[in-house]
Structure 1
Amino acid sequence: MGFFNRVFLILALLSVELTPSSADSSSSSREITSIFLNHAKKKEVFDWMVGIRRKIHENPELGYEEFETSKLVRAELDKMGIPYKYPIAVTGVVGFVGSGEPPFVAIRADMDALSMQEMVEWEHKSKIPGKMHACGHDGHVAMLLGAAKILQEHRELLQGTVLLVFQPAEEGGGGAKKMVEAGVLENVEAIFGLHVYPDLPTGQVASRSGPFLAGSGFFEAVINGKGGHAAIPQHSIDPILAASNVIVSLQHLVSREADPLDSQVVTVAKFKGGGAFNVIPDSVTIGGTFRAFSKESFMQLKQRIEEVITRQATVQRCNATVDFHAAGKEPFTPPTINDKGLHGHFQSVAANLFGSDNVKDMQPVMGSEDFSFYQEMIPGYFFFLGTKDETSGKPASVHSPYFKINEDALPYGAALDASLAAGYLLELQTRSTPSSRKHHDEL
């Protein structure tokens, strides 16, 4: 960006702060978006993001084990001269870019990988057996570092401070909840988060106002009977039969008890019991997930799941215990509900970046995201970034061992992250005065 262009934009931003108007704010936001996208597309910036993403992909780490990933993040922030706080929630990092003054806005990326073996054969395949970045978090980290670079090199344009939230343990570990409990959102006005989306073409984004992703929970139940010989079942109490009745009854919770217009899911995906053809076991273990788009529906499902399991087991002369903390997972991830006001901001900024035809509204998705823990505290907005390579056929879904990211999407994600934060700070400055706000304790 040339010196005179930089001075012109700074003067434009100052004029907005002195005499705010929606037209001035919109015009300045468009200029910022254009500058940021051009910066992200520079070959040296693009190659740098690709290198970071590939290094993380080769060395995947599970939730709360992201020590090397966190070390890489901190090393890059050090190179950029960006201050940060570490550790937060074991491996989390929060960087700070801008004036160091309020208002504060946050951008988040998750860092953890999944317990699965990568099946994609390429130069930068995972080097860790049984671990893989199959959900794109390696790309999320690279894009947030890209946004950090853009914002740091244009920090004189920021009308406040951007928090860079590098979060551990999104995949069932409740990392966002622990980040919130550590106080990272103190005095923060809003937070933005993205997720790569392989079914959407690169150069497009999608989201919606209101409920976007479902709240989710897990359950595990042990159904106890009395084991014995399969040839004389009258001398036993069969927990397999009891578990089978339980599973059928659980499916009625959605089909017979839920409002058809209130989407819900109950899935039993685990069934363990018995080890021989002619032996009735003493016990059976079942487990699964349940999901809903409101906390009320979710809690009703939770209550009914426990009632159905315990009472159906009793009908079959068994007893059952139900655990909603199965496999060490958080018992409840709230629904991801996008703030209405932030939806308008997202649409405006994304349209400036991609063109309005490439900003899509989409139906709610039954997947879940712990970004919702941030949204319970402050206004938050979560969106999907298209990463589909139109030349390579149907892409593999996230959580597939064949999942791949189209790295051409990295500049778009970095520029959009940076533009959403910088543009929102600009909007906040047009609505209120800095003197009415507190300093962020971490600064």
Structure 2
Amino acid sequence: MDFEPSVSSEQLSAFRREFHRHAESGFSEFWTTAFLASRLSEAGCAVLVGEEALCREARMGVPEEAVQQARLAAALEQGADPYWLERMHGLTGLIADIRPDLPPHTVLRFDIDAVDVDESQSPAHFPAREGFRSLNAHESHACGHDGHAAIGLGTALELVRLKDCLRHNVRLIFEPAEEGLRGAAAMVKAGAVEGAKYFFAAHIGVNARQSGELVCGTEGFLASTKFDAEFFGKAAHAGAEPHEGRNSLLAAASAVLNLHAIPRHGKGETRIAVGRMESGTGRNVIPSYAKLICETRGSNTEVNDWMFEQARRILEHSAAMYGQECRITLMGGGGTAASDRAMCELVRRASENIPYFRHELVKDMGRGFGADDACAFLEAVQAQGGMGTYAQIGSHLPAGHHSPDFDFDESLLLPSVELFCRVALELDARK
């Protein structure tokens, strides 16, 4: 089918800037979900929210209730539609079906969460200069998911316009909590990709750092396990009765040093990181509690599982050395998946009709960037006999991902919508 987009670059930039202004952390994307649900429903999509879109019990790393209530109140204050907030029942993210009378055939994934980073206020930072810097402290779109959401919304508007020409259902997933690998498992558990034959997702930037560049598929993602470790000891007067205390800070510090001493695995790349350590209440009090926020990674699930088992053993033994109780809580995680070559070739062919993508900067396969929750969707589709790919859409980046100064080239939005539509239409012609 010949395709000419009707959505404009200006409209997509406006969407992107609204998402950027209302940046929300994982599982707290209340304003974002309500905005998307309202626009998609008005356009004629069948919208699934709440437990129709994801399994409540399968979520990991959900913010505390007080945090959720504060973020929900902020979303309401910023104009989120109460009708959709009510229907969500505290769950964020959504599914939009173009042809709900048919089972899912092609699934397109767009992540919508922000990063826990304070955004730059420098006049050199484009969102700050143009007045769409994040309204929410410590939450900003420093990874391009605002662009992904805008591309997803634009793609839905185009496909619903063409739905009478579609032979199959195209399902768009707007995933919450991609950061930390938390959202996809809950959506897969709810059946989001059940029966689907094709899967397509993309990320702005990553290892495609030139505008006009396109990587049609990705391999080499790292499997990962995200977890918190808590130590419970006993407080005591540090001067009068230090012998009565059981020092949680020392237990945690010992664990940190030994975690980073885990040997590398011979069967693949491995990573260990402790991102934060919390402990202590006062200068003269033996700390009775400590918390570590950690992750392991591996080039495959086997290697990552080995790393996590080594980490668990070190944490438990460090606790025992200092008379502590230790509690380890899983906060997220996922496996690894590789794009199918046939899907990479399809994406390449689709890009040939889009002037933004420069032929000399288009390649079939590239390396992953750490981990991405899209792997859970891709693995699930491949496990049921389907295929898929994860592309990287090139953009000049003034700063790296998760940096306060991160931004991207908005001129990629319309070509990206066209790419997703052309891929979906090509797949629709298949069985």
TM-score of Structure 1 vs Structure 2, range by shorter chain: 0.7 to 0.9
Partner deviation per Cα, 1:375-397 (whole Å, 9 max, x = no partner): 231133222212216xxxxx122
What is the CA RMSD across the aligned residues, in angstroms? 3.0
Q: How does 1:223-262 map to 2 (within 5 A)?
A: 224=233, 227-229=236-238, 238-253=247-262, 256-259=263-266, 262=268
Contact 1:214 1:365 in 2 (8 A): no
Partner deviation per Cα, 1:67-86 (whole Å, 9 max, x = no partner): 33233223332443333333
Which of 281, 294, 307 in structure 2 is aligned with 1:288?
Answer: 294
Quote how far apart the aligned CAs of 1:355 are.
Answer: 4.4
Q: How does 1:133-172 map to 2 (within 5 A)?
A: 133-155=141-163, 157-172=165-180
Amino acid in structure 1 at the alignment position of 2:368: P
Distance 1:47 1:347 in 2: 26
Partner deviation per Cα, 1:287-320 (whole Å, 9 max, x = no partner): 3211112111121111111111222443x44334
Contact 1:351 1:358 in 2 (8 A): no
| Structure 2 CA distance for partners of 1:249 and 1:61, relative to 1, 3 Å | closer
Contact 2:225 2:308 in 1 (8 A): no
Contact 2:112 2:174 in 1 (8 A): yes
Distance 1:95 1:244 in 2: 47
Distance 2:245 2:161 in 1: 73
Quote how far apart the aligned CAs of 1:104 are.
Answer: 1.1
Quote how far apart the aligned CAs of 1:131 are.
Answer: 2.7
Q: How does 1:3-82 map to 2 (within 5 A)?
A: 32=2, 35-36=3-4, 39=5, 45-82=8-45
Q: Structure 1: where are the runs of 5+ without partners? A: 1-8, 10-31, 390-394, 430-443
Corresponding position of 1:404: 407
Distance 1:231 1:257 in 2: 44
Which of 221, 229, 234 in structure 2 is aligned with 1:212?
Answer: 221
Which of 358, 371, 375 in structure 1 is aligned with 2:374?
Answer: 371
Corresponding position of 2:115: 114
Quote how far apart the aligned CAs of 1:221 are.
Answer: 3.4
| Structure 2 CA distance for partners of 1:180 and 1:230, relative to 1, 3 Å | same
| Structure 2 CA distance for partners of 1:271 and 1:53, relative to 1, 3 Å | same
| Structure 2 CA distance for partners of 1:311 and 1:213, relative to 1, 3 Å | closer
Partner deviation per Cα, 1:12-42 (whole Å, 9 max, x = no partner): xxxxxxxxxxxxxxxxxxxx4xx34xx26xx
Corresponding position of 2:323: 318
Larger of the two Rg values belongs to structure? 1
Amino acid in structure 2 at the alignment position of 1:347: R
Distance 1:241 1:285 in 2: 11
Amino acid in structure 1 at the alignment position of 2:366: M
How many percent identity over aligned positions? 24
Corresponding position of 2:191: 183
Quote how far apart the aligned CAs of 1:234 are.
Answer: 6.5
Quote how far apart the aligned CAs of 1:203 are.
Answer: 1.6
The number of residues matched between the two structures is: 377
User: Please, which moves more after superposition, 269-278 or 397-406?
Assistant: 269-278
Which of 46, 50, 54 in structure 2 is aligned with 1:83?
Answer: 46
Corresponding position of 2:425: 422
| Structure 2 CA distance for partners of 1:158 and 1:292, relative to 1, 3 Å | same
Amino acid in structure 2 at the alignment position of 1:323: I
More helix by share: 1
Matched, 1:193 2:201: yes
Distance 2:271 2:185 in 1: 23
Distance 1:91 1:416 in 2: 27
Quote how far apart the aligned CAs of 1:100 are.
Answer: 4.8
Partner deviation per Cα, 1:164-195 (whole Å, 9 max, x = no partner): 22222223372222222222222211211111
| Structure 2 CA distance for partners of 1:334 and 1:347, relative to 1, 3 Å | same
Partner deviation per Cα, 1:43-87 (whole Å, 9 max, x = no partner): x62111111111222222333333332332233324433333334
Q: How does 1:115-134 map to 2 (within 5 A)?
A: 115-120=116-121, 121-122=128-129, 123-134=131-142
Q: Structure 2: where are the runs of 5+ without partners? A: 55-90, 122-127, 383-387
Distance 1:290 1:341 in 2: 31
Partner deviation per Cα, 1:299-355 (whole Å, 9 max, x = no partner): 1111111111222443x4433414132xxx32x222243234423333333355424
Matched, 1:305 2:306: no
Quote how far apart the aligned CAs of 1:102 are.
Answer: 6.2
Distance 1:80 1:409 in 2: 23
SS in structure 2 of the partner of residue 289 of structure 1: strand
SS in structure 2 of the partner of residue 200 of structure 1: coil
